[in-house]
Each structure stands twice: as C-alpha cells, then as structure tokens.
C-alpha cells in the first residue's frame, strides 16, 4: 500500500492518514510529491495517475486501486486492519470519534483559512493579531477546545478516546496550528497537544517537516522567505 502525500510542513490533509498509520503500526510506502499548484505541474501530473480528485492524500494499492479523501482512507484502513484500533472498540465511543472527525473534516473554515498549517514557522505574533481581529477564528478555536476538553474528560486520556486513534490523527493538524500561531487554549488542551506532538507518528511527521527546508510561496501568506 502506498500513501501519496504533499509537503509535510504544509499538508494538513496528508498528515492525518500518515500519522494514523504510523501511530498504529500499519505498514505503507510513502510517496511524497512537492507542492506545485501551477497548471500542468509535475505535482498534478503525478496525482492524475492515481486520482481524478487532483488532491492529496491518496492511498494506492499495488493493482492501482485508489482511495482518496481522509475520511474514506481512515475507514479503509479500519477495514483492512481491524486489529489496529483505528476507531474505539465501544460502539458509542466509535460513533463519537467519527462525529469529531466529521466535524473537523467539514468545519472550522475560519481557523483553516486564517491559520494554514506551517509547522516550521514561528507565527505567534501573527496569531495574536489574527485572534484579536477575527471573531470567526475565536469561535472556531473555542469549539475545538470544547470538543477536546469534553472528549478528554470522558475518556480520562491520554488521548481523546484513551488510546491513539483516528480522532487524534484528525486533530493533529489543528494542534500544529495552535502551536505555530501560539493560540491560547485551556491547560488540559495544551497538555493534550504536548502529548499528541510526542506520539510516535506525530513526532516523526514533525521531524520530517522541519527537515524539508522547502518554501512554497502559495502556502505562505505571512512570510516571504523561510526563517
């Protein structure tokens, strides 16, 4: 099984299935494509061989069968590896975890647009400016904190549903945003973000992102060069 992804410093969607599979010991071969959003670029040419969606991530089997979209990939991994614990074992907790993933998948547009994932960058000054001026960002951040606090209180931690699962993988990119932009969160949420950043798959993704030494101008609304 191959997992086609984009730049690790920027690609929040790619991060989800990568850290999920890594964190649960599901084997895959990484295929990383450098972001290039110009028409007809090598990035789009390579993607066209795997998916009509033209976006990462994509899971590709040896026979060419492809699965795209992070929710679909998570379900595919769960079906292929039922022993891995992609979702909680308890039916209600499993439904709740799927609800958290679906809300992250379709919501938080203000947080996404104002604070694009940029693991390498120190954007805390910009984060404070954005938080002061953008009511939608404050609303999204408050909802994320509410979801995380409630899940942690119910499960007792250390992760959202006790053990690391798809819900943690889906919230890993927003955790990276909170760190990069210095967004204020309650103590319990901050401690969870620290644990998540130290989890094996997430820790490895962060290290790889820092080692890329790449700068994609289209993904850098607040800088003109890498620090």
Mean pLDDT value of segment 92-98? 98
Query: 103 and 197 in one domain?
Result: yes
CATH of the domain at 36: 3.40.30.10
* Domain-located, residue 158: yes
* Domain-located, residue 29: yes
* Domain-located, residue 216: no
Query: Mean of the per-residue pLDDT values for the chain?
Result: 97
Query: 111 and 204 in one domain?
Result: yes
Query: 102 and 80 in one domain?
Result: no
Confidence (pLDDT) at 86: 98
Which tens digits make up the pLDDT trace of 117-143?
999 999 999 999 999 999 999 999 999
- What angle, 0 to 180 degrees and rounded to 10, lies between the N-to-C axes of helices 135-155 and 91-106? 170
* Alpha carbon distance 51, 212 (integer Å): 25
Confidence (pLDDT) at 76: 98
Query: 100 and 78 in one domain?
Result: no
The dihedrals phi and psi of 5, each to the nearest 5 degrees, come to -135, 175
* Alpha carbon distance 44, 55 (integer Å): 8
Query: 205 and 97 in one domain?
Result: yes
Number of domains in the chain: 2
Contacts of 32 (CB under 8 A, 6+ apart): 4, 5, 6, 7, 8
| pTM to 2 decimal places | 0.97
The last residue of a domain, from among 85, 107, 124? 85
Which tens digits make up the pLDDT trace of 8-28?
999 999 999 999 999 999 999
Specify the range with the lowest mean pLDDT, choosing from 16-30, 37-51, 189-203: 37-51
pLDDT of 227 > 80? The answer is no
Confidence (pLDDT) at 97: 98
Residue 75: which of 205, 174, 169, 215 has the closest Cα? Answer: 169
Contacts of 22 (CB under 8 A, 6+ apart): 200, 201, 204, 205
The last residue of a domain, from among 28, 56, 85? 85
Domain that holds residue 147: 91-209
Query: 202 and 114 in one domain?
Result: yes
* Domain-located, residue 217: no
Q: How confident is the model at residue 189 (pLDDT cuts 50, 70, 90)?
A: very high
* Domain-located, residue 205: yes
CATH of the domain at 199: 1.20.1050.10
Query: 188 and 98 in one domain?
Result: yes
* Domain-located, residue 136: yes
The secondary element (H helix, E strand) that includes residue 202 is helix 200-211
* Domain-located, residue 131: yes
Query: 195 and 148 in one domain?
Result: yes
Residue 130: which of 121, 140, 119 has the closest Cα? Answer: 140
Strand order in the sheet with 66-68: 29-32, 2-5, 58-60, 66-68
* Alpha carbon distance 15, 171 (integer Å): 10
pLDDT of 203 > 80? The answer is yes
The secondary element (H helix, E strand) that includes residue 4 is strand 2-5
The last residue of a domain, from among 33, 53, 85? 85
Query: 81 and 169 in one domain?
Result: no
* Domain-located, residue 73: yes
Query: 194 and 113 in one domain?
Result: yes
* Alpha carbon distance 97, 67 (integer Å): 21
Query: 57 and 166 in one domain?
Result: no
Query: 185 and 120 in one domain?
Result: yes
């Amino acid at each position: 099984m191959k997992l086609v992804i984009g730049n690790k410093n920027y690609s929040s969607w790619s991060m989800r299935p990568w850290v999920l599979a890594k964190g649960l010991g599901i084997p895959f071969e990484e295929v990383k494509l450098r972001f290039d959003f110009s028409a007809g670029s090598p990035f789009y040419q390579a993607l066209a061989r795997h998916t009509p969606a033209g976006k990462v991530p994509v899971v590709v089997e040896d026979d060419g069968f492809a699965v795209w979209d992070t929710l679909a990939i998570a379900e595919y991994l769960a079906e292929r590896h039922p022993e891995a614990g992609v979702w909680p074992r308890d039916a209600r907790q499993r439904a709740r975890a799927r609800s958290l993933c679906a809300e992250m998948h379709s919501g938080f547009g203000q947080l996404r647009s104002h604070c694009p994932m940029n693991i390498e960058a120190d954007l805390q000054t910009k984060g404070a400016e954005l938080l002061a001026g953008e009511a939608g960002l404050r609303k999204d951040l408050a909802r994320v904190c509410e979801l995380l606090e409630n899940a942690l209180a119910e499960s007792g931690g250390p992760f959202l549903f006790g053990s690391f699962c798809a819900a943690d993988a889906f919230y890993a990119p927003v955790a990276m945003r909170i760190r990069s932009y210095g967004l204020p969160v309650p103590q319990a949420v901050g401690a969870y973000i620290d644990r998540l950043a130290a989890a094996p798959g997430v820790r490895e993704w962060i290290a790889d992102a820092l080692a890329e030494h790449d700068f994609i101008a289209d993904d850098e609304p607040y800088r003109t060069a890498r620090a």
